[in-house]
A and B are shown apart, each in its own frame.
Chain A
């Protein structure tokens, strides 16, 4: 099946650096395919090229080398941009700086207005997406009366109303409190369940574990890619990529170091708990 997003050796360096040939590339030689309906987490330290990658995926930035394809459309051609922006929606980090409308309803409508969706259809979709993100009844609220989590859900609603195939979350949870983070993660899970392709850029290994595939970036390249549970065997690597080590993984490693007979291949919290139970009941 043709992937919804394909990067063929895509690289990017910022314009003002182009005069110096030795100038660093923000992204270099990235090959990546994202299948329709996939849920991918992208991780990596600051400056590893995560956000640059995200902006290449909907034509906000154009590749300096290689090609980026969205649903068979080349992002390098400006005439493709309107369709690409409809297909690939994006939720940004700062909840305040992505809300355009003076009311919840106006903001959800903004993207659809740009697409030229007829008014009746807009009203229908607004009702539907606000229902989905749990903001129905707040149509007339002014955005600054919403909590951080609600603002991000509003941003998600605005993107959903455009009926995209892919939604990119560019560190969309990093400025929220734990409650708001939960709300947004639940919304992401629900979107994925309904068949939307999700690309979630995050610093949190815990959040990345919700995904089906994890892509780790470092120095503008893809360093590692695989299923999240495989990360559990790579504690040293997590540290090297300056990513936090999740508590169950840390616990497993320390217990093993103490000489407890816990299998190395354990892939998640539940398995760990189970093997600990077995150990306890054996005594």
Chain B
């Protein structure tokens, strides 16, 4: 009986590259702003610039290309589907191709290319972020960035703690699921045969005990946290610290230059 492999949390690949060393705050801000300025590009020059930035990101991450492509793969079908829809639905310009009821116009080809390119760049940047930043770093980064919003009632510290506890318990619950599955197998449960619906249904006797135990764990953990003096985010100090370096400032300067250039290039 094969035991389940432990899941890799997120898709972080440890390495020592320029992108890995950057402060998660800088990376988060960059990706967030980048996702908006992508829409500023309106012509070939603009798109070349975006592709250039994305490719330099790939180079600077020092992560093998196949691994990056694996991160993009799940979204690839969506991109192809969107491209096909645009190809078939957009009217305008010369007719390039006619096939039964489907007519492909020049504008359709342009739209399809532009949309898929935009999509691809967005996904690529997101993938690079998660490949080069560990989930804990991401959590820390988000917490620090959301910190100013604490004043308007966003519980940044509590949210970050929730995320880190979730990360802490993924392996524990995974192990537990493994145990429950074996226990159910010992009683004759079958998880590997039958059609899809049956297989999904066969997981119910695994999920129910798993949920019950997760709730019990949560209750005990809450008690343990209270016993260790947890009273919410107020007045807490932090052991984890983030260091803003020269490179991080450079990244933000690059981001500013990029935004201005794109604005200027759209003419």
Contacts and interface: CB of A to CB of B under 8 A. Distances in A.
Nearest to A102: B168
Contacts, number: 90
Contacts of A118: 237
Contact of A58 (B136, B165, B168, B227): B227
A255 interface: no
A97 B224 contact: yes
Nearest to A107: B168
Contact of B221 (A98, A111, A122): A98
**10 residue pairs, one from A and one from B, having the closest CB atoms:** A109-B239, A98-B224, A97-B220, A114-B229, A111-B228, A85-B229, A144-B171, A90-B227, A102-B168, A97-B217
Interface of B: 136, 161, 164-165, 167-168, 171-172, 175, 216-217, 220-221, 223-231, 235-241
A99 B168 contact: yes
Residue from the set B171, B224, B239 with the largest chain A CB neighbour count within 10 Å? B239
Contact of A111 (B220, B229, B240): B229
Contact of B226 (A60, A122, A143, A162): A60
Contacts of A117: 237
A82 B241 CA distance: 25
Contacts of B164: 100-102, 106
A94 interface: yes
Nearest to A105: B239
Contacts of A188: none
Contact of B217 (A96, A101, A159, A162): A96
Contacts of B240: 106
Contacts of A123: 239
Given A97-B221, A119-B241, A60 B229 contact: no
A109 to B, nearest CB: 4
Given A96-B217, A142-B171, A113 B227 contact: no
A158 interface: yes
Main secondary structure of the interface of A (DSSP, over half): helix
A114 B220 contact: no
Given A86-B229, A162-B229, A98 B168 contact: no
Given A82-B231, A105-B239, 14 more contacts: A85-B226, A89-B227, A89-B228, A96-B217, A100-B164, A100-B221, A100-B225, A101-B164, A102-B167, A106-B240, A113-B237, A122-B237, A144-B171, A159-B228
B147 to A, nearest CB: 15
Interface residues of A, number: 38
Residue from the set B161, B224, B225 with the largest chain A CB neighbour count within 10 Å? B224
28 contacts: A58-B227, A60-B226, A85-B227, A85-B228, A85-B229, A86-B229, A89-B228, A92-B220, A92-B224, A96-B217, A97-B216, A98-B221, A100-B161, A100-B164, A100-B168, A100-B224, A100-B225, A106-B164, A109-B239, A113-B237, A114-B236, A118-B237, A119-B238, A122-B239, A123-B239, A142-B171, A143-B168, A162-B229
Nearest to A161: B228
B199 to A, nearest CB: 28
A161 to B, nearest CB: 10
Contacts of A86: 229
A119 to B, nearest CB: 6
Nearest to B236: A113
Residue from the set B168, B172, B236, B241 with the largest chain A CB neighbour count within 10 Å? B168
Nearest to A84: B229
